[in-house]
Amino acid sequence: MWQMLKMEFKRSFRVKFLIALLVEIALVVSNVILEMLPEAKFMGTSRYWLKQDSPYSAFGWWIGGTPFYLQQYLYFFLMPVIAAFPCADSFFSDLKSGYIKNILVRTKKIKYYGAKYLAVFIVSGLTVVIPMLLSFGITAMIFPTIIPEPTLAKFPVSVTHMWSVLYYTRPFLYTFGYMAIDFIYGGLFAAVALTMTYYLEYRFVVLASPFLLALFLNSVLNLFNLQSYSPLSFISPGADCSTTFTIVACEALLLLLITTGVFFGKGLRKDTY
């Protein structure tokens, strides 16, 4: 299993992983250059204190901390595509090229499918989280990590928002907790693409499937005013969305059960040859 896993990781951390990271880092860096630095240069000056009645906080400025900027919106909106891009189509390639047949004569099915799922999940999760960590690190170098003050009403997290108490008391825990959620959802989006491989004919459709499903689900939930159930709404830590941890956890569990159930169930039963 370990050897299989090692091999899958080796296949996953390639150019496509770097491209996905570069796209996301470009969003993070442009957010810093276009939005943060112009504000930061006035810090400590009289203009700053005329405009602001409290100092800026890094928790309200990093890529996941604000709902105002284009880069922030794009980062989380494109998350299902970017997460799936590095390696969610590797199973598709294995099936189409016949590579899977060469692997399965040398190892057990469960080892191959287990390693594939785990590697895709972890690599996709990392694709999402690494630029977030970078963004938070850069922001913390520019703005102080002051605890957000709820009475100022200048922070996007409202009372009805998930973990709002944590945000205003232990913001580090909130930020890293949300990154953990995004890691899991990044992995799950890629797992959806992995599972859809069984049903779809073309690579493009496989890779676009998590994004399209998320978009479609978002619209249908919008129809019934249930935006708080839409992953596209709640994956952003700073988005204006009143969700609860139960919803986030239950949806993640449901997605995990469906994707593992279909991926392993179909894979183990299906005759590869």
Partner 1 sequence: MFTCNDIKAQKRNTSFKQIQYDLRSGIGSCWLKYAISALIFFIVCFDLWKNVHVSQMISNSSITFADYLLYAFKGMNVFKPNLNDPENSFQVPAFWLLINLYLAYLVGDYPSRDLGGYGKQILIRSKTRGQWWLGKVTWNAVSVLIYYAIGYLVMIGFSLATGRVSGNPSVDIARYFLSMEVSGLNGTCWIPAAIIQPILASLSICLIQMTISLFMKPIMSFAAIACILVASAYYFTPFLIGNCLMIARSSLVRPDGIGFVFAAFLTVLLSAAAVVIGGMKFQRMDIFE
User: Which lies closer to partner 1 via its Cβ, residue 215 or residue 252?
Assistant: 215
85 binds partner 1 (CB under 8 A): yes
Check if the beta carbon of residue 69 is closer than 8 Å to that of residue 35.
yes
In angstroms, rounded to a whole number, what is the distance separating the alpha carbons of residues 195 and 210?
10
67 binds partner 1 (CB under 8 A): yes
Question: Considering only residues 15, 105, 153, 159, which one is a binding residue for partner 1 as defined by CB under 8 A?
Answer: 153
Buried b / exposed e across 203-232, counting CB within 10 Å, b at 16+? eeebbbbbbebbeebbeebeeeeebbbbbb
> Which residues, at least 6 apart from 100, have a Cβ–Cβ distance to it below 8 Å?
94, 112, 272
Stretch binding partner 1 (CB under 8 A), from 115-123, 131-139, 210-218, 257-265: 210-218
| DSSP 8-state assignment for residue 159 | T
User: Which lies closer to partner 1 via its Cβ, residue 34 or residue 110?
Assistant: 34
**What tokens appear for 202 in the block?**
């073309």
Question: Considering only residues 70, 165, 250, 268, which one is a binding residue for partner 1 as defined by CB under 8 A?
Answer: 70
In angstroms, rounded to a whole number, what is the distance separating the alpha carbons of residues 185 and 176?
14
**What tokens appear for 247 in the block?**
């919803």
Q: By CB under 8 A, what part of segment 227-256 binds partner 1?
A: 239-240
CB of 160 to partner 1, least distance (A): 12
User: Which lies closer to partner 1 via its Cβ, residue 146 or residue 205?
Assistant: 205
Residues near partner 1, by CB under 8 A: 19, 23, 66-70, 72-74, 77-78, 81-82, 85, 153-156, 158, 202-205, 207-208, 211-212, 215-216, 218-220, 222-223, 239-240
